[in-house]
Amino acid sequence: MSLLEPLAVTALLGTRKQALAPLAVEGPIGPLLDAIARDSASDEARLLRSAAVLDMCQHAGWLAPEATTAAAAPAPEDTLALPPEQSFGVLSQMLAEGYPRLGQLTLLQLAQRQLRLPPSLLPELLDRARRDAYLRGLLAPVLGERGRWLAERNPAWQVQAIDRREALNDEIWSLGSLEQRQVYLSALREQDPVAARELLVAGRKDFDARERSALLAALATGLSADDEPLLDEWSRDRSKEVRRVAAELLMDLPDSAYRRRMAARLALCVNVTPAAAEPGGLKGLFKRLTHSGSNAPTVQIEPPQAFFDNGKDDQIEEAVPNGEGLGQRAWWLYQVVAAAPLQTWRDHQGLTPHDWIAAAGRSDWDEALIRGWYQSTLREGDAEWAAALLDRISATGLRLARCFLDSQPLIALLPVPEREGHWLRLAHHIEDRNSLSLSELLAQILAAIPVQSRPGTAFCEQLLPHLRIGIALPRSVYDYNLRHNLRDFATLLPPELFAQARQGWPDDEALHRHQSEALHDWHNTLNLREHLQTLLD
């Protein structure tokens, strides 16, 4: 073990949490390191000076004596079986770097069959998982005992050994990295929310602002009304980032006092006058026949002239940030609309999300309202509001003064049949100049469908002809994302469509290089999936 490793661990944890241990080194380097250790400088300075000495020595070719540590115990026997040996080559191709979605699907398939990874693939995947949090979650169930043993040997890989089902090791909370402690706290929240909250409170004084905000965010797991007092307290933290996280969590609590205060502020901005009753007799009949009367209530939306009372206590910003396209009052309105529960709007009897969005278009505060509704709809996951906003935003998004609202997150909130119908309507216009390109359409679909899910067979079957048209369009010639997105969509395709998905494509000679490479990857992905399924089944 390199002598730099214990110094790196101390630097990672911080000298407040782990004292700088003396380094016992023989030879002329030893007295120099001893002198640094006895120096009156701060712990941080002595750590960095010791690391600098060892680093210079290593560059000069000096090797520290090997540490006299006992050999590690061998890995326990694995309880998970290996996949068939003849599948190892296919697995290696499917898990290759640069094919993230195909690799994720492969790991899920192994986990579903209760199989573990071949040992030869473990080092590369553990190393890649250092940079990919999503891969870490998929990797843990298929590491097996040998994979976990291997991860424990390398400090850079130890976070990969954390499986949420086995994360409750007190040493992880005491000595682990910030990311490890987040995983630990989330896992504890799933099992004992009260214990997790108390653990966070007990350690608060030892956390810096970055740690407080990251660990507080872990309370999103199992969030309940019991967390409200703590969140109220932390919303007054000295760190702006911690206050922001606390406010966001309070927004997620359905009946929190925070949300009620935001609803009350919103009520100051909105006035709905009920429609007058229609007259009876011939006069009322004439109005109905000529449509000269309306039963719709009158809507007035107007932010206050002065800043909200105690608004700063609830993290409403009074000053408009630099670069923000909204004016002063519109900025106040936007923040309150984004934080207030959508139920506030539904409390006005007879007004639908479409009615409110139409009313916004007739007001002077349209952009602030649309942006606020967009944020609150994404937070609450409300499909009705998502559908109404999509009608306004359109499939390609809405570009406002200094902001772009993406339609894709809203599409992801719709029920699956509505989502797929929306995408098929876009696909029918794939040849139009101003429509989404094939690559952009596939990117929307991929963003909304996680790798563990699968689109409908009928939807994919109807989409295939549009893929064949889109790949041959002139604008696909220089679409550098087409290869990646088409390959990832092939990862989602139901196996019963594989034969159909291989047919009807333009001749390779008629395609340019990028188009041809995209089509080659499409076929190769289908072949790999089919081959692995045959071997595993």
39 lies in which domain range?
A: 4-59
Q: Which of 35-39, 98-102, 324-328, 386-390 has the highest mean pLDDT?
A: 386-390
Over range 279-295, report the average pLDDT.
Answer: 53
CA distances from 274 to 52, 271, 355 (A): 75, 10, 14
For the chain, the distance separating the N- and C-terminal CA atoms, rounded to the nearest angstrom, is: 43
- Alpha carbon of residue 311 to chain centroid: 29
Residue 517 falls within a domain, yes or no?
Answer: yes
Amino acid at 235: S
Same-domain check for residues 115 and 233:
yes
How far apart are the C-alpha atoms of 430 and 470, rounded to whole Å? 6
Same-domain check for residues 241 and 118:
yes
Amino acid at 422: H
pLDDT digits (tens, 9 = 90+) for 24-63: 777 778 888 888 888 888 888 888 888 888 888 877 766 6
Cβ partners under 8 Å of residue 10, min gap 6 = 18, 19, 20, 21, 47
Same-domain check for residues 105 and 135:
yes
CB half-sphere exposure, 296, CA atoms < 13 A = 13
Which tops the pLDDT comparison, 75 or 69? 75
Same-domain check for residues 167 and 274:
no
CA distances from 318 to 218, 312, 336, 366 (A): 28, 7, 12, 20
Same-domain check for residues 359 and 439:
no
- Report yes or no on whether pTM surpasses 0.85: no
Q: What is the pLDDT of residue 277?
A: 54
% pLDDT > 90, the chain: 45
Same-domain check for residues 96 and 243:
yes
Over range 178-191, report the average pLDDT.
Answer: 87
pLDDT digits (tens, 9 = 90+) for 466-520: 999 999 999 999 888 999 999 999 999 999 999 999 999 999 888 898 899 999 9
pLDDT digits (tens, 9 = 90+) for 501-513: 999 999 988 889 8
Residue 238 falls within a domain, yes or no?
Answer: yes
Over range 396-415, report the average pLDDT.
Answer: 77
Which residue, 406, 431, 452, sits at the end of a domain? 406
Same-domain check for residues 371 and 471:
no
pLDDT over threshold 50, residue 167: no
Which residue, 354, 378, 406, sits at the end of a domain? 406
Please list, residue by residue across 276-287, b when 16 or more beta carbons sit within 10 angstroms of its beta carbon and e when fewer do.
eeeeeeeeeeee
Q: What is the pLDDT of residue 335?
A: 93
- Alpha carbon of residue 50 to chain centroid: 39
How far apart are the C-alpha atoms of 167 and 172, rounded to whole Å? 8
Same-domain check for residues 454 and 325:
no
Residue 42 falls within a domain, yes or no?
Answer: yes
Q: Report how many domains make up the chain.
A: 4
Same-domain check for residues 110 and 179:
yes
Q: What is the pLDDT of residue 278?
A: 55
Determine the 3-state secondary structure of 314 from DSSP.
helix
Same-domain check for residues 402 and 422:
no
CB 109 within 8 A of CB 87: no
Residue 70 falls within a domain, yes or no?
Answer: no
CB 84 within 8 A of CB 536: yes
Same-domain check for residues 489 and 453:
yes
pLDDT digits (tens, 9 = 90+) for 435-458: 888 999 999 899 888 888 889 999
Q: What is the pLDDT of residue 483?
A: 93
pLDDT over threshold 90, residue 411: no
**DSSP conformational letter for 54:** H
Same-domain check for residues 129 and 149:
yes
Residue 352 falls within a domain, yes or no?
Answer: yes
Residue 75 falls within a domain, yes or no?
Answer: no
CB 405 within 8 A of CB 370: yes
CB 521 within 8 A of CB 101: no
pLDDT digits (tens, 9 = 90+) for 73-106: 888 899 999 999 999 999 999 998 888 899 999 9
Task: State the chain's mean pLDDT as an integer.
Answer: 85
Which tops the pLDDT comparison, 256 or 292? 256
pLDDT over threshold 60, residue 162: no
Which residue, 380, 406, 432, sits at the end of a domain? 406
* Structure tokens given for 74: 């061998």
How far apart are the C-alpha atoms of 535 and 113, rounded to whole Å? 12
